[in-house]
């Protein structure tokens, strides 16, 4: 394997630097996965390092799977002897072996977000906490944040004794952790938190894994939080052969705990670190990269790095200022149709990227009317569907009968005459005896006085579950699923309904069986525990099918790690992207700018950035100026789109001067059928303000054809235009630019 012929100079240096701490600053599209896979292959084939001594961590199962496939193509089956997985999957693997040292059984359940909500609700009810005082979502977020920062419930309680509200949160946190342990369950955050706890409390266990993993590689290091940082630091402490790969310019998860300081301070944490920058991009056209460089260079908290490419310049960045969000959707739709027709593109070549999921609705409506196939990444996941969660709860309970949350879900699903009152009595008695609910059900005759019908139903349920538990280790997971959906009568109930939704649910259950069959054919560990882990740890992006011929609609966050020939970044307005909070906070603004950088660098060939003069947000019409990020792109790299010369007249380009709020005036209707938010009286007549610029002043009454009558609150110069803040009588306060506001004096 001649590495010099396969890699550029910086890549080669990164691949062949093995001993000691190494920081690889990998710009977008610079071939970091290639570097990691060749580095592993070089270690195994050229340096004879045994694969089991290598630990490679990345953030998604999809990325881990791709990396393992690439390594396997280079070194063969030896790749099976090394760990290439996500943080959470690696921790589960360790905990399955060692968690008994923390007082748990090794067949612990992993609770997903639904299970968390159920357990938190139980805690709130027991502690008599009103949802209006503290919401369940707030409690989950607070507890998650503490675990990410390795703060125990006891410590959090001690630190917040004097704060009434946070003291209540601490009470929930303590009870929640107690219930998790009683249920022999961990939530998602616990997987790393408990592994760190295990290592800190058991030096012999830590030393074993330090000896085992002498070479550690962490991908996407900029996205690590405190608990992940601590886990890596503990494992790497002995040999210090740690290689981290990341891009501080792509740190976009600070809102969920990622700490950019982990990558910025790596050289302080590990003295004698070698730093290698991968700046050559193999993905995007030059103009796209230059635009990304323009924007990210405005951040101060970053390592200096400039993307470069040998690709040609390509098209300029296309900007489009729509009348409304509907017009924006129609424009995107028309461009997709046009490019498909003229350049022989497939629908899978296009991605619509937005800041928030709420923006998807308009594009869904427009694409349906335009017969454009699309798929949303981030919608209802397969494993979140009711019928799937029901059967998965059966499987989780069969695997771990201490799991009261799963038991409550399945005990009367399908209906078997065990009502909520009976279940509550069982749960309360179990809590008073400090036992799991199933233990009470096993002796239901002796411990509780219940109606004969309820007792009979419970006994049948217990007999059913016991039969599943006996089958668990004798038959395959797919066969167990079939047995559950048939023996419980679940599928028969759906067949009896005979409606379209029930037919769809039956198809979903068949798909679950297929998923289990696929798991059995590809997984070395074919146990029920392994299947449950795989399903619980799967993320939405793991199921992304790159070959499906449909336009992808997703948030910029979800798009990280993906690439598309044509990208539309929509909703590029101050207040949306960046969000209003970012405009008031420099640190949040820098993260928003990094997010914009990530979105831009998803594009390979063409990039569109669109905005709207008005859009409906939370049921009301709002008007935002164009995103500041658009003004940060050099004029030579961008141009406003002129659809068949039908709508945009740029006027004197010298007046543009990179003014972020400049908007082209609209002179004619577009060719597609869309109801405009403004009325154009004559197709060839340019819309002009009847109010002269020199007469504009604070305090005067004006009329806007959409927002109605309002009073000018303030007037300020903004480049070659005038920024007006107007308080409208029925539509609230709006910030508008005089050049496009179409105002009349009242």
Q: Which residues are annotated as a binding site?
A: 26-33
Hey, what are 658's tokens? 């990179």
Residue 567 neighbours by CB distance under 10 Å: 29
Hey, what are 244's tokens? 């981290």
Annotated catalytic, 686?
no
Catalytic residue among 58, 60, 122, 250: 250
Closest CA to 105 of 186, 175, 203, 174: 186
Annotated catalytic, 220?
yes
Q: Dihedral, CA atoms, 308, 558, 535, 546, nearest 10 degrees?
A: -60
Catalytic residue among 17, 33, 135, 711: 33
What is d(CA 330, CA 370) in angstroms, rounded to the nearest whole number?
A: 9
Angle at 441 between CA 438 and CA 444, to 5 degrees: 155
The answer to whether the bond into 414 is cis (omega within 30° of 0) is yes
Hey, what are 702's tokens? 């004006």
What is d(CA 235, CA 233) in angstroms, rounded to the nearest whole number?
A: 6
The structure tokens 């260079």 sit at: 297
The answer to whether the bond into 224 is cis (omega within 30° of 0) is no
Catalytic residue among 112, 148, 189, 220: 220
Interacting residues of 520 by C-beta distance below 8 A, sequence separation 6+: 476, 477, 478, 526
- Residue 724 DSSP SS3: strand
Annotated catalytic, 250?
yes
Catalytic residue among 62, 348, 408, 602: 602
Using an 8 Å Cβ cutoff, are 167 and 160 in contact? yes
Using an 8 Å Cβ cutoff, are 154 and 177 in contact? no
Using an 8 Å Cβ cutoff, are 119 and 179 in contact? yes
Catalytic residue among 98, 171, 187, 219: 219
DSSP β-bridge partners for residue 711: 701, 727
Give the β-pairing of 242-246 and 215-218: parallel
Q: Which long-range contacts (CB under 8 A, 24 or more apart) does 101-104 make?
A: 101/198, 101/201, 101/202, 101/205, 102/194, 102/197, 102/198, 102/201, 103/181, 104/181, 104/184, 104/186
Span between the terminal Cα atoms of the chain, in Å: 78
What is d(CA 622, CA 613) in angstroms, rounded to the nearest whole number?
A: 8
Rama region for 478: left / alpha / beta (φ>0; ψ in -120 to 50; rest): alpha
Hey, what are 376's tokens? 């949303």
- Residue 129 DSSP SS3: coil
Q: Residue-wise over 52-61: b if at least 16 C-beta within 10 A, else e?
A: ebbbbbbbbb
- Write out the H or E segment, with its range, that includes residue 607: strand 603-617
- Residue 743 DSSP SS3: strand
Closest CA to 418 of 408, 432, 428: 408
DSSP β-bridge partners for residue 277: 25
Closest CA to 24 of 229, 244, 281: 244
Residue 588 neighbours by CB distance under 10 Å: 17
Rg (the chain; Cα; Å)? 29
Give 547's DSSP letter. T
Provide the residue count of the chain: 746
Annotated catalytic, 33?
yes
Catalytic residue among 10, 11, 32, 230: 32
Hey, what are 286's tokens? 């030059």
Binding-site residue numbers for ATP are 26-33
Using CB atoms within 10 Å of the CB of residue 227, give its burial: 0 to 12 exposed, 13 to 18 middle, 19+ buried. buried
The structure tokens 């910029």 sit at: 556
Catalytic residues: 32-33, 219-220, 250, 602
């Amino acid at each position: 394997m001649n590495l010099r012929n396969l890699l550029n100079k910086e890549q080669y240096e990164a691949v062949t630097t093995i001993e000691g701490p190494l920081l690889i600053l990998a710009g977008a599209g610079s071939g970091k996965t290639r570097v990691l896979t060749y580095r592993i292959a070089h270690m195994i084939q050229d340096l004879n390092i045994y694969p089991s001594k290598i630990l490679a961590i990345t953030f998604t199962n999809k990325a881990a799977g791709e990396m393992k496939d690439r390594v396997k193509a280079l070194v063969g089956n030896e790749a099976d002897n090394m760990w290439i997985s996500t943080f959470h999957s690696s921790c589960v693997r360790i905990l399955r072996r060692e968690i008994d040292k923390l007082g748990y059984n090794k067949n612990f359940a992993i609770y997903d977000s639904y299970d968390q909500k159920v357990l938190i609700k139980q805690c709130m009810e027991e502690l008599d906490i009103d949802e209006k005082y503290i919401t369940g979502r707030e409690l989950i977020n607070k507890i998650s944040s503490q675990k990410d920062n390795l703060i125990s419930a006891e410590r959090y309680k001690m630190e917040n004794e004097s704060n009434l509200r946070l003291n209540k949160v601490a009470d929930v946190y303590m009870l929640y952790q107690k219930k998790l342990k009683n249920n022999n369950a961990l939530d998602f955050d616990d997987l790393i938190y408990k592994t760190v706890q295990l290592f800190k409390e058991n030096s012999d266990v830590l030393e074993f894994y330090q000896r085992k993993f002498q070479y550690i590689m962490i991908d996407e290091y900029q996205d690590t939080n405190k608990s992940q940082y601590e886990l890596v630091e503990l494992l790497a402490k002995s040999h210090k052969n740690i290689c981290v790969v990341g891009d501080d310019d792509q740190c976009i998860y600070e809102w969920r705990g990622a700490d950019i300081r982990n990558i910025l301070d790596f050289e302080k944490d590990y003295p004698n670190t070698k730093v290698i920058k991968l700046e050559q991009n193999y993905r995007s056209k030059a103009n796209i990269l230059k635009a990304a460089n323009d924007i990210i260079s405005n951040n101060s908290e970053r390592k200096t790095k400039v993307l470069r490419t040998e690709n040609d310049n390509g098209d300029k960045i296309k900007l489009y200022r729509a009348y409304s969000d509907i017009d924006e959707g129609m424009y995107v739709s028309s461009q997709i149709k046009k490019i498909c027709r003229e350049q022989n593109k497939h629908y899978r070549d296009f991605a619509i990227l937005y800041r928030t999921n709420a923006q998807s609705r308009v594009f869904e409506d427009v694409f349906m009317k335009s017969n454009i196939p699309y798929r949303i990444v981030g919608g209802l996941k397969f494993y979140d569907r009711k019928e799937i969660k029901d059967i998965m709860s059966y499987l989780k309970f069969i695997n771990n009968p201490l799991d009261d949350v799963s038991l409550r879900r399945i005990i009367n699903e399908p209906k078997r005459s065990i009502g909520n009152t009976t279940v509550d009595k069982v749960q309360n008695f179990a809590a008073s005896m400090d036992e799991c609910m199933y233990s009470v059900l096993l002796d239901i005759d002796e411990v509780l006085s219940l109606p004969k019908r309820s007792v009979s139903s419970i006994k049948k349920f217990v007999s059913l579950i016991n039969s599943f538990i006996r089958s668990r280790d004798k038959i395959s997971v797919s066969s167990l699923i079939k047995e559950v959906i048939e023996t419980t009568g679940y599928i028969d109930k759906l067949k009896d309904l005979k409606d379209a939704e029930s037919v769809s649910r039956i198809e979903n259950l068949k798909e679950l069986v297929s998923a289990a069959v696929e798991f059995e054919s590809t997984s070395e560990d074919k146990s029920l525990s392994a299947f449950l882990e795989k399903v619980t740890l799967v993320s939405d992006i793991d199921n992304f099918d790159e070959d499906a011929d449909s336009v992808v609609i997703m948030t910029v966050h979800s798009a990280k790690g993906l690439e598309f020939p044509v990208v539309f970044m929509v909703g590029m307005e101050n207040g949306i992207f960046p969000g209003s909070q970012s405009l008031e906070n420099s640190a949040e603004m820098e993260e928003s700018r990094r997010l914009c950088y990530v979105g831009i660098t998803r594009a390979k060939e063409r990039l569109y950035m669109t905005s709207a003069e008005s859009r409906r947000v939370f049921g009301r019409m709002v008007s935002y100026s164009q995103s500041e990020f658009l003004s940060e792109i050099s004029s030579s790299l961008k141009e406003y789109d002129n659809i068949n010369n039908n709508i945009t007249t740029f006027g004197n380009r010298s007046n543009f001067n990179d003014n972020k709020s400049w908007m082209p005036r609209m002179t004619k209707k577009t060719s597609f059928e869309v109801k405009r938010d403004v009325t154009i009286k004559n197709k060839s007549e340019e819309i002009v303000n009847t109010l002269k610029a020199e007469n504009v002043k604070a305090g005067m009454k004006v009329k806007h054809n959409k927002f109605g009558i309002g009073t000018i609150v303030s007037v300020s110069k903004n480049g070659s235009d005038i920024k007006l803040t107007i308080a409208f009588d029925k539509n609230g306060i709006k910030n508008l630019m005089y050049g496009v506001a179409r105002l009349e004096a009242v």
